[in-house]
Amino acid sequence: MPTAFTTSVLHITTGTTETVTDLTSDCEQFLTRTAAGRDGLLNIFVPHATAGIAVLETGAGSDDDLLSALHALLPADDRWQHRHGSPGHGRDHVLPAFVPPHATLPVIAGRLELGTWQSVCLVDTNVDNADRQVRLSFLG
């Protein structure tokens, strides 16, 4: 019987601009190696205080719309008490309250069950830290 729990870490470089990075193909490749046609759950977790995981449409402007909405909700200005790093960096530490650092998604017959236009994305507004880790864990 295959192992019931398997985990792996992705190393992602997000660059020096705020970004939404599509991780869907990375998740699918991980499941191809580990899920072997089984049903279960995929947990995606980013162990950073300034990044999150979102399930949303990409490529049609929704990723840019998300970043715009975050700018409106969390402006990069001097209102934040958390003040180290780039101006407005305190907002990045509030981001996980709006875009959580995790998502748990169903896996059916070894395949990620997403809606037609859904993608799994890393949301990173912290321009001071471009090196990110994303832990993928399959339980099934």
DSSP states of 24-87 as a string? HHHHHHHHHHHTTT--EEEEEE---TTEEEEEE--SSSHHHHHHHHHHHHS-SSTT-S---SST
pLDDT, tens digit, 9 for 90 and up, residues 2-23: 679 999 999 999 989 999 999 9
Residue 25 has pLDDT above 70, yes or no: yes
Q: Using one digit for the tens of pLDDT, what is the confidence trace for 107-118?
A: 999 999 999 999
Phi-psi region of 74 (alpha: psi -120 to 50; beta: other; left: phi over 0): beta
- What's residue 2's pLDDT? 64
Residue ranges per structural domain of the chain? 5-139
For residues 71-78, average pLDDT: 93
Return mean pLDDT, the chain: 95
Mean pLDDT value across residues 115-127: 96
CATH number belonging to domain 5-139: 2.60.120.460
One-letter identity of residue 54: A
